[in-house]
């Protein structure tokens, strides 16, 4: 029977508008679903959500798939000093039930050699690369067997989990975002709560989209008109990190905090977010206390305009070539309806094929995981 380690951290809900104490999780369901589901009831439930792929039973008799290595995530004894490195050093360990033996993997203690051994034991693993991602869901999903862990590039085809470890919801209208003020959300360091501008040039008939010009004037955006029929559409995007103490901040690139200039303007644009792999872990500005922050949310705020912004999240929580990639399970990039500020909440821990991939316990290993570049995209809605 599970018992509490009495260790707590602070985390925000799916949409990021509320923070609460988070109990030391026993398993990936507690870490990635139960906490956020409980917060939904008091905060996010009224927001527009995008349903992500989950198992839908076709009968009262269903079970975890025998094709997936069984796993039981158990609580081990923790100490208050563990919290300095975050959830990854708390009480997550994996007991692998196998015939004749039992291997214990605490991925927070997994070094490069042990990762290599894990990789060698799975020579048939599927690799995902951006921008072309090979999805494993190429047949009808099972209605009698479910995936006991999380969707990843090594998952058997056709299996879905009973719950999603991800969440996607609309925080509000894009027109409500004021770039000179940023997002009004709890826990952000001063000056680090700003989304970054992504300018997309389109050739279009402006008369068919009069609202685009009006929105630009309202938010004091500059519309670049190089020649007749060519306009600039500005989308705001962001990548948020969160540490166990509840500190939050946006990054403008790998290991780079979003900052304001002396004239209260945001210095950076979204170029590095669009072209770089973003580290899954980085030092928190409160690093003097030894805390490590984790990439937990991705934001996209497209205006009412003739484009559809897409999200194609692929997370590699381990060192390249030493583990699978994780994603929500959609066959294609997720299309976001225009005019909304969309928030994609990422998993807190990553569990797949009998392994837990959580925070490294050494700052020298914090670059082992990443959110692959190519997450942001768009499709031009052509005039008809």
pLDDT score of 302 more than 90: yes
pLDDT of residue 260: 79
Beta bridge pairs of residue 293:
282
User: CB–CB of 118/94 below 8 Å?
Assistant: no
Peptide bond into 320 cis (omega under 30): no
Between 16-25, 36-45, 228-237, 241-250, the lowest mean confidence (pLDDT) is in 228-237
* pLDDT above 70 coverage of the chain, percent: 70
User: CB–CB of 8/22 below 8 Å?
Assistant: yes
Query: How far, in Å, are 8, 244, 303, 324, 331 from residue 356 at the CA level?
Result: 20, 18, 39, 11, 24
Instruction: Identify which of 288, 319, 299 has the alpha carbon closest to the alpha carbon of residue 376.
Output: 299
Beta bridge pairs of residue 376:
311
pLDDT of residue 231: 84
Please, what is the end-to-end C-alpha distance for the chain in angstroms? Answer: 62
CA distance 193 to 249: 6
In which band, very low, low, confident or very high, does the pLDDT at 86 lie, cut at 50, 70 and 90?
A: very low
Instruction: Record the pTM.
Output: 0.79
Instruction: Express each pLDDT in 110-165 by its tens digit.
Output: 333 332 333 333 322 222 234 444 454 445 788 889 999 999 999 998 999 999 99
């Amino acid at each position: 029977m599970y018992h509490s380690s009495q260790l707590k951290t602070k985390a925000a809900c799916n949409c990021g508008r509320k923070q609460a104490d988070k109990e030391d999780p026993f398993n990936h369901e507690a870490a990635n679903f139960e906490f956020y589901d409980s917060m939904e009831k008091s905060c996010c439930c009224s927001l527009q959500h995008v349903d992500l792929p989950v198992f839908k039973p076709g009968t009262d008799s269903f079970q975890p798939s025998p094709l997936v290595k069984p796993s039981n995530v158990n609580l081990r004894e923790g100490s208050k000093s563990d919290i300095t490195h975050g959830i990854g050093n708390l009480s997550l360990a994996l007991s692998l039930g196998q015939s004749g033996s039992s291997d214990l993997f605490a991925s927070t203690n997994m070094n490069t050699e042990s990762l290599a051994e894990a990789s060698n034991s799975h020579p048939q693993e599927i690799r995902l690369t951006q921008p072309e991602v090979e999805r494993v869901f190429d047949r009808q999903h099972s209605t009698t067997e479910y995936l006991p862990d999380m969707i990843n590039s090594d998952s058997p085809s056709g299996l879905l989990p009973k719950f999603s470890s991800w969440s996607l919801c609309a925080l509000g209208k894009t027109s409500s975002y004021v770039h000179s003020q940023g997002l009004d959300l709890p826990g952000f360091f001063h000056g680090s709560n700003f989304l970054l501008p992504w300018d997309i040039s389109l050739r279009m008939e402006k008369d068919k989209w009069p609202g685009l010009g009006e929105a630009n004037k309202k938010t004091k955006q500059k519309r670049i008109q190089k020649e007749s029929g060519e306009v600039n559409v500005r989308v705001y995007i962001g990548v948020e990190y969160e540490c166990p103490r509840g500190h939050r901040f946006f990054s403008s690139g790998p290991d780079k905090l979003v900052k304001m200039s002396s004239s209260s303007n945001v210095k950076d644009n979204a170029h590095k977010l669009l072209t770089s792999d973003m580290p899954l872990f980085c030092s928190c500005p409160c690093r003097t206390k030894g805390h490590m922050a984790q990439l937990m949310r991705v934001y996209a705020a497209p205006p009412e305009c003739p484009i559809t912004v897409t999200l194609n999240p692929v997370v590699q929580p381990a060192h390249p070539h030493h583990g699978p990639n994780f994603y929500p399970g959609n066959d294609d990039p997720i299309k976001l309806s225009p005019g909304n500020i969309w928030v994609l909440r990422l998993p807190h821990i990553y569990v797949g094929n009998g392994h837990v991939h959580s925070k490294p316990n050494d700052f020298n290993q914090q670059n082992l995981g990443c959110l692959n570049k190519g997450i942001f995209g768009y499709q031009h809605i052509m005039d008809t």
